[in-house]
């Protein structure tokens, strides 16, 4: 393991998932304080790249602050921001029916999008706990009338303190099934997220590493972007589940704590 740690620590750019890597719900994972301290002291470039769309960068900053970590807002990038960027590149100043929380709503407002539950250009679904039958029914009919269906990320579930919680792919499935239309997902493993991350970090892909807990999003996204990958076993994916996938991460560790011990 020592050789693996040395190789990882030589990287200059770190693209880091949050849920399952940094915390579970409101519980900080072991070694995170020391790992982030090492990143800062070593002058490493790092970006928290999360598929979770509920929170704004300011809210993510404040959440880590409550957990005892002070990281500037510039170190956060979410699937909600990526979705807003994608939609405005496709149709500037459009409108959307949004099933999602503040992070997604604010991201779309920030690029000039308006909410519309009559004839929107898009139906956009993000992570949310405010999910009900009425919203599903309306979304289905809007899609049938021509709105394009967009998901902020293709995660089926995400880790929380007491287990897992349904994520966007699970939430959007009833709309896909009832409307017969497939959603386009912007977040990881869409390589768009990785290209944005590298630009923000200002590093070459050869000098970067993706740290995540999911084989189907984090690791796949890194592989498809030709960036080295580190799977940590502190989140969704267990060691036994790795063989269920036709690809492997470059490195595997128990958690970020292994990088500073």
Please indicate, yes or no, if residue 181 is contained in any of the structural domains: yes
CATH code, 98: 3.40.50.1000
**Residue the block writes with tokens 């929170």:** 55
Residues catalogued as catalytic: 17, 19
**Is residue 254 within 8 Å of residue 231, measured between CB atoms?**
no
Whole-number pLDDT of residue 77: 96
Q: Residue 236 above 90 pLDDT?
A: no
Res 1 pLDDT > 80: no
Confidence of residue 135 (pLDDT cuts 50, 70, 90): very high
| pLDDT score of 261 more than 90 | no
- Average the pLDDT over 234-256 and give the result: 95
pLDDT, one tens digit per residue, over 25-81 is: 888 999 999 999 999 999 999 999 999 899 999 999 999 999 999 999 999 999 999
| CA separation for the pair 89, 65 (Å, rounded) | 33
Is the pTM above the cut of 0.85? yes
Q: Given 185, 207, 226, which residue is the final one in a domain?
A: 185
CA distances from 169 to 8, 129, 158, 180, 193 (A): 31, 14, 11, 15, 17
Q: 155-158 long-range contacts, Cβ below 8 Å, gap at least 24?
A: 155/51, 155/187, 155/214, 155/217, 157/236, 158/19, 158/20, 158/51, 158/52, 158/127, 158/236
pLDDT(163) > 90: no
Residue pLDDT, tens place only, 73-108: 999 999 999 999 999 999 999 999 999 999 999 999
What lies within 8 Å, CB to CB, of 54 at 6+ separation is: 80, 100, 101, 102, 103, 104, 126, 127, 128
Taking 90 as the threshold, does the pLDDT of residue 12 lie above it? yes
Q: Return the DSSP state at 147.
A: P
Residues 181 and 250 in one domain: no
Expressed as residue numbers, the domain containing 138 is 80-185
- For 237-252, letters b (16+ CB in 10 Å) and e give beeeebeeeeeebbbb
Q: Do residues 177 and 119 both lie within one domain?
A: yes
């Amino acid at each position: 393991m020592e050789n693996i740690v040395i190789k990882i620590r030589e990287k200059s750019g770190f693209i880091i998932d949050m849920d399952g890597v940094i915390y579970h719900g409101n519980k900080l994972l072991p070694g995170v304080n020391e790992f982030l301290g090492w990143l800062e002291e070593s002058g490493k470039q790092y970006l928290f790249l999360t598929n979770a769309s509920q929170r704004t960068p300011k809210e993510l900053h404040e959440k880590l602050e409550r957990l005892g970590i002070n990281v500037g807002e510039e170190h956060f990038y979410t699937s909600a921001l990526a979705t807003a960027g994608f939609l405005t590149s496709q149709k500037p100043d459009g409108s959307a029916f949004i099933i999602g929380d503040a992070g997604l709503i604010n991201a779309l407002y920030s690029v000039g999008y308006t909410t519309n539950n009559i004839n929107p250009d898009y139906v956009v679904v993000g992570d949310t706990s405010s999910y009900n039958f009425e919203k599903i029914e309306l979304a289905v009919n809007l899609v049938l009338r021509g709105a394009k269906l967009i998901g902020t990320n293709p995660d089926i579930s995400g880790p929380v303190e007491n287990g897992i919680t349904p994520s966007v792919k699970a939430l959007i499935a009833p709309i896909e099934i009832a409307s017969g239309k497939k959603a386009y997902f912007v977040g990881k493993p869409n390589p768009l997220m990785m290209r944005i991350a590298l630009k923000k970090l200002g590093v070459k892909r050869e000098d970067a590493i993706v740290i995540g807990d999911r084989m189907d999003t984090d690791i796949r996204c890194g592989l498809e972007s030709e960036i080295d990958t580190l799977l940590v076993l502190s989140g969704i994916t267990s060691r036994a589940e790795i063989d269920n996938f036709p690809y492997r991460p470059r490195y595997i560790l128990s958690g970020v704590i292994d990088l500073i011990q």
